Structure 1
Amino acid sequence: MSSHGRRTFLKLSGGVLGGIFAGTTVTAAERTDRFVVETKGKGLPSDLTVVHEMPGVKFAVVEGSESDVKRSKAVTGYAADIEVELDDPGVNAEAPTVDESDVDAPSSSASDEPFYPLQWDKQALNVPEAHEVTQGAGTRVTIIDSGVAGGHPDLDVNESLSRNFTGDGLGAANPAGGYHGTHVAGIVGALDNGEGVIGTAPGTDLVDCRVFSPNALASFADILAAVVYSANIDADVANLSLGAYPIPRQGIGQFYGKALNRVMTYANKEGTLLSIAAGNDSADLQHDKNFISLPNEGAQAVSVAATGPIGFGWDADGDGDSDDFASPPESPAFYTNYGTNAITLGAPGGDADLGAIGTGVPWYLDLVYNTLAIPTYEQDDDGNITGIESVNHTYGWLAGTSMAAPNVAGAAALVKSANPDYNANQVESALKRAADVPDGYDKTFYGSGFLNVVDAL
């Protein structure tokens, strides 16, 4: 069984990533018909097919042959597009999904959402107290992910601003790329509507920026374009629960480093805070001198590590008491990447007692519970996905830094709502100043500390 949380694998050519050690999760694949190009800033290449404009950063995404790109007088530099693949880890694959009617969750005095008692993450962050100040009204958060189900009864998605960056023709504000993005979106902004769960910022404006497709791997260029789009629609936060590790520092290439950092710096300058999953490889990012984790180690990233309890609602330590913890919610998750200068904040992402899986105990309660949307696809005679036949709107448990990042994104939306004049750096500073490293641990897993929403407000 995999002990890694949900993550993505960067797929690059051996030429770009030559020298990676045997057995790496980074494998080879590179587009030969699609390129990220740097322009002179005086217009787009008219002799190439432009897939994505990226106004503000002098980059664009184009299709064509490499020889056409080389000949274009509007292009000053380029690199082939590269691709990202989502992976389902064992701990998440083993977790159940449920309909509301399948869970006997009592009402809560802290919140009127019936499943709030299952949300240890919101309890640890004292979200109901934060909501006495604000629920995030007046803010906007983009979810750069596999798609957000606009039809989920616990989500309100801005369908007019939502975009499909994949070109697969399956639209936006739907879970065409899978269930992951809907879970992430619920952690940020599930509605305070008396049913289901609660998000950290239920009053925020959620926008789906879908970059994963069921027909193909995700494009790194699409992700860059989605970040620029987020900034250009005045998003206060962009959540990226995606990434790749290990990438050799010398292998990523000057061009992609420049493109990534320029895009992320542009977003920050425009007021968009980037909350990014730190990764689930149990890796020390501080001391892996030859490697880098992307995009969470890019410029201006708020890199989020994951924490979680062992024994939420079940007797993990065998003392006969299911109301205590074998380890508390702010303790580092077993899978999370770490490193003092590589991590900005620690936040609830879920943990798991791997030895308890399959024993009949509800070990999955230590994962993060929130919205899910599971699509059924239409297919042609060749097995190609041509549409979405139906979607099961439900709830379930997942773990990963993918779940930690949106808790920070929601907290950032609350801080921005309470302080409308704050820029992205000021929002980040408020979150960092309020955070503390839990007793018994050091900054290695937390950067500035464990997320403290109430004090940040």
Structure 2
Amino acid sequence: MVPSTRRDVLKVSGALLGGIAVGSTVTAATSTDRFIVRTKGRGLPSGVEVVHEMPGTRLAVVSGDEEALSSSNRVAEYGPDTLIEIGEPEVNTDAPTLEDSTVSDEPLYDLQWDKQDLDVESAHETTMGEGTRVAIIDTGVAAGHPDLNVNEDLSRNFTGDGFGAANPAGGYHGTHVGGIVGASDNGAGVIGTAPATELVDCRVFSPNALASFGDILAAVAYSASIGADVANLSIGAYPVVRQEFGSFYGKVLNRVMTYANSQGTLLVISAGNDAADLQHDGQVCMDFDDDGEIECNPVISLPNEGAQALSVSATGPVGFGYDASDYGGEQPAQTPAVYTNYGTNAVDLGAPGGNYSPEAYSANVPGWYYDLVLNTIAEPTYATDGDGNVTGIESIDYTYSWVAGTSMAAPNVAGAAALVKSANPDYNANQLESALKRAADVPSGYGKEYYGSGYLNIVDAL
């Protein structure tokens, strides 16, 4: 990762990874010595060091002197790598782990309203996802969690932090996402949508550090190279200005995503948690460059509005397992979540991601968190040096917790795609997406803008 002392900081509004804190602020930073490069197919110039190669795309991530790129006839275009900070939501942080709750002695499936509403039990009579592979591009998936089947040999750490792969070095989030996709059918804990699929950890976040856009691109290309049937990206930034560097990032993202799709890897991506209308956002006015002045720019949400993305919005109940009559009333599981981004042409499917009643949350009503999504987490304790810098992972606590966000909706779709692929091994990425969309319907009483083709229906897709 590029040292923090060498970042020029820009402000971007909107939650990045997981979460339901509407209007939170994350930070994007452009690197001064690390670049994303599109070549002319004649290799890279001397004077730079390759960080990531992306065969099949004519793209690479390099470090070194910018002058070596600007003066080279081998380079078609380039831009500074961008580092983006995790925006953790307050409500997710406040949700208890299972061992802290009052229901730790209850059967865990009874608490998984998302799997119940999707009727995964019926789907599993056809397949549990055997013979499929799902890459999780995230904070790290803990292979040590007893409920997860992670291919450690194929797992990769794209950050360069030296802390390895198949572990939650970047935090609990990736393990929760991985569990939603594929928590095992082992008679204990929770169940995933595709419990027999093989998970591959592609870690792009480090402890207390920003994620590199270049690392994310490399992880997508790698997922395709190892034959992943699906890659889940519960990650995104909004609003990103379409002009200047935003245009470049959009072009290189589209190139990598189109390549992955052509190799048979379906890209399932969270739509974002800003309660934003991505169809009609037009120009957004804010202080984009932190100069104290308000600028108005056309914007885009990335990567979910990139080429070949299957963009997923979030739904969830209100009042699952507790009385919500005094807190806005009970709502069914297919209800659009209060935080989810939406937009008819910006969302492809709606899926369970968790919801909440702001009134119940503010009042800390017992059981308010049941409306979030329960699944696996792994919480690391970090070893640090005398200056507080993280030097490694000291220990990991494997447990379960409730989390919400479009980050939780996307892996339900990724797991569904794995089931469809298992039942139809010859399907390519486009056929997988088509099967999921054809089976979906917009719930009665709700607008298409929240669902795209409709609400995820696994049984009909099979």
**What is the TM-score when the length of structure 1 is the normalising length?**
0.90
Distance in 2, Cα, partners of 1:104 & 1:293 = 38
Distance in 2, Cα, partners of 1:72 & 1:136 = 48
- Partner residue in 1 for 2:285: none
1:134 pairs with one of 124, 127, 147: 127
Contact kept? 2:421, 2:427, Cα under 8 Å:
yes
- Partner residue in 1 for 2:87: 87
1:210 pairs with one of 203, 206, 221: 203
Q: How far did 1:365 drift?
A: 0.2
2:336 maps to 1:332: yes
Distance in 2, Cα, partners of 1:68 & 1:77 = 12
- Partner residue in 1 for 2:349: 345
- Partner residue in 2 for 1:415: 420
* Alpha-carbon distance change, 28 to 157 in structure 1, aligned in 2, over 3 angstroms: closer
* Alpha-carbon distance change, 78 to 13 in structure 1, aligned in 2, over 3 angstroms: farther
2:141 maps to 1:151: no
- Partner residue in 1 for 2:16: none
Distance in 1, Cα, partners of 2:249 & 2:412 = 29
1:309 pairs with one of 310, 317, 338: 317
2:431 pairs with one of 403, 409, 426: 426
2:441 maps to 1:436: yes
Distance in 2, Cα, partners of 1:115 & 1:28 = 38
Q: How far did 1:359 drift?
A: 3.3
Contact kept? 2:12, 2:238, Cα under 8 Å:
no
Q: Secondary structure of 1:93's match?
A: helix
2:288 maps to 1:295: no
Distance in 2, Cα, partners of 1:335 & 1:367 = 12
2:242 maps to 1:249: yes
Contact kept? 2:344, 2:448, Cα under 8 Å:
yes
Q: Secondary structure of 2:86's match?
A: strand
After the TM superposition, list the runs of 4 or more consecutive aligned residues in structure 1 that deviate by more than 6 angstroms.
Answer: none
- Partner residue in 2 for 1:220: 213
Contact kept? 1:105, 1:117, Cα under 8 Å:
no
Distance in 1, Cα, partners of 2:64 & 2:380 = 33
- Partner residue in 2 for 1:199: 192
Distance in 2, Cα, partners of 1:53 & 1:303 = 26
Q: Secondary structure of 2:446's match?
A: coil
- How does 1:31-42 map onto structure 2 within 5 Å? 31-42=31-42
How many percent of aligned residue pairs carry the same amino acid? 69
RMSD of equivalent CA atoms: 2.0
Contact kept? 2:185, 2:191, Cα under 8 Å:
yes
Distance in 1, Cα, partners of 2:388 & 2:434 = 49
* Alpha-carbon distance change, 307 to 363 in structure 1, aligned in 2, over 3 angstroms: same
Contact kept? 1:377, 1:386, Cα under 8 Å:
yes
Distance in 2, Cα, partners of 1:45 & 1:67 = 10
- The aligned amino acid for 1:449 is G
Deviations 1:409-429 (Å, cap 9, x if unpaired)? 000000000000000000000
Q: Higher mean Cα deviation, 282-291 or 119-128? A: 282-291
2:373 maps to 1:368: yes
Q: How far did 1:195 drift?
A: 0.6
Distance in 1, Cα, partners of 2:357 & 2:339 = 11
* Alpha-carbon distance change, 404 to 69 in structure 1, aligned in 2, over 3 angstroms: same
Q: How far did 1:103 drift?
A: 3.4
- The aligned amino acid for 1:417 is S
Q: Secondary structure of 1:99's match?
A: helix
Distance in 1, Cα, partners of 2:162 & 2:73 = 31
Q: How far did 1:254 drift?
A: 3.5
- The aligned amino acid for 1:120 is W
Deviations 1:248-291 (Å, cap 9, x if unpaired)? 22244432222110001011111110100000000000001222
Distance in 1, Cα, partners of 2:24 & 2:200 = 34
**What is the TM-score when the length of structure 2 is the normalising length?**
0.89
- The aligned amino acid for 1:299 is A
Gaps of 5+ in 2: 1-6, 14-22, 283-297
Q: How far did 1:360 drift?
A: 3.6
- Partner residue in 2 for 1:99: 99
Deviations 1:305-341 (Å, cap 9, x if unpaired)? 000000111111159xxxxx71000010000000111
- The aligned amino acid for 2:338 is F
- Partner residue in 1 for 2:271: 278
Distance in 2, Cα, partners of 1:207 & 1:415 = 19
Q: How far did 1:216 drift?
A: 2.2
Gaps of 5+ in 1: 1-10, 18-22, 107-113, 320-324
Deviations 1:88-117 (Å, cap 9, x if unpaired)? 1121111101239973454xxxxxxx3100
- Partner residue in 2 for 1:20: none
- Partner residue in 2 for 1:453: 458
Distance in 2, Cα, partners of 1:99 & 1:443 = 39
Distance in 1, Cα, partners of 2:433 & 2:454 = 13
Distance in 1, Cα, partners of 2:125 & 2:448 = 30
Contact kept? 1:264, 1:300, Cα under 8 Å:
yes
Q: Secondary structure of 2:441's match?
A: coil
- The aligned amino acid for 2:271 is A
Q: Secondary structure of 1:444's match?
A: helix
- Partner residue in 2 for 1:71: 71
- The aligned amino acid for 1:305 is S
Q: Secondary structure of 1:185's match?
A: helix
Contact kept? 1:100, 1:196, Cα under 8 Å:
no
